[in-house]
A = this chain, B = another copy of it.
Amino acid sequence: VIESNAVPDPDVVQVDAGAGEYSVSVGPGQLDRIGAFVVGLAGVHRCAVISDSTVEKLYGARVTDSIQGAGVSCEIFTFEAGEARKTRKVWSILTDALLDGGFGRDSLVVALGGGVTGDLAGFVAATYMRGLPVLQVPTSVVAMVDSSVGGKTGVDTAAGKNLVGSFHPPVAVMIDPEVVRTLPTDQRSEGWVEAVKHGAIVDAAYFDSLEAEGPQLVAGEGDAVRRAVLRSVQIKAAVVSDDEKEGGARMALNFGHTLGHAIEAVSEYAMGHGSAVALGMLLEAELGERLGVTEPGTAQRLAGALQAIEISARLSDPCSLEAIEDFLARDKKAREGTPRFVLLRRIGEVDREFGWTRAVPREDIKAVLRSTWLSN
């Protein structure tokens, strides 16, 4: 058992998700504090840790040791790493494994891993005997700064990503920024894109600090990582607390994502989510500038920040322009066929002249897509 005084107190951010408050703890050593947290949960007598094959090798034993060391029964369930496993089939297999293991309503699911694990294990928890509590323990940058907070869970289908799932807020999120060190560099860069988005939509000073500290963040240096994760969690927590189920403030988080999702889908997911969103943000900033909504020079500032976190976002194949336009026409956020966008007013502020989103004429979208790629 790790002595509790060996681990410094974490920073704690409260999220009020309507269905119940939960806290997000950010601090080095949190991985070793999971057992101490679990033992304090009323009604929980068993833990099912769900992790992927990569993260399980790195951190599985440390987490199960912490839980068992606190005197709580614990088993780990592993699936093969990769977005391709975020399916109803793997969800079924994990559910059946828990049922075979005799896990009842007195169980806690611990989601240990990146965004795929959080979404998949969260959906197992959401649908197991009509809902088990889930503890989110994100180990990737994107899961720390984005997907572990907010309660979205789900899986992909042939028709698209995240089309099957539910809102199931966690009982808590525990973030150990030191695990970022063990990620591949490009995964770190991809993850910081969502942090840049947080700065772009609500906090210009944070945006500037991300650009200034880009090299440390990409290197995974503990203190820079801790501070950025904390600020992003604060922003995400504030937004989802205002708007649990997406219809108001949460819409702002879609900045860069209307075009980002289209680009990602058209690349058949060969392009990472972060890179696609980075490109989406640049294009949506160009779009806002073209429409006179976004302060001139904003796209240029975004490009600078993205460069600092070592994202070079560009589309390899200009022939896919039409495919992107087709995708937009079918996007689930589109209302009656007209794509809607979150546009910036300037770095740190979203335009709200017509609510959180505005419909943009197809000609302007086409013009921005074409001009931007031609200039690359």
Contact = CB atoms under 8 A, between A and B. Distances in A.
Interface of A: 19, 88, 92, 95-96, 99-100, 102, 104-106, 126-131, 152-154, 157-160, 162-167, 245, 330, 332, 335
A130 B167 CA distance: 6
A332 B19 CA distance: 24
B165 A332 contact: no
Contacts of A104: 332
A160 to B, nearest CB: 8
User: Nearest 6 CB-CB pairs, A to B?
Assistant: A99-B159, A130-B165, A104-B332, A127-B164, A130-B166, A127-B166
A157 B88 contact: no
Contacts of A154: 127, 130
A40 to B, nearest CB: 19
22 contacts: A19-B19, A88-B92, A95-B157, A95-B163, A95-B164, A96-B159, A99-B163, A102-B330, A104-B332, A105-B332, A127-B127, A127-B165, A127-B166, A128-B163, A128-B164, A129-B165, A129-B332, A130-B153, A130-B154, A130-B165, A131-B167, A131-B245
Nearest to A330: B102
Contact of A152 (B95, B130, B157): B130
A326 to B, nearest CB: 14
Contacts of A157: 95-96, 99
Contact of A166 (B19, B95, B166, B330): B166
A22 to B, nearest CB: 16
A196 to B, nearest CB: 25
Contact of A163 (B88, B126, B129, B153): B129
Contacts of A163: 95, 99, 128-129
A257 to B, nearest CB: 15
Q: Which of A19, A126, A165, A166 neighbours the largest number of chain B CB atoms within 10 Å of its CB?
A: A166
Q: Which of A19, A127, A131, A335 neighbours the largest number of chain B CB atoms within 10 Å of its CB?
A: A127
Nearest to A335: B106
A132 to B, nearest CB: 11
A332 B105 CA distance: 7
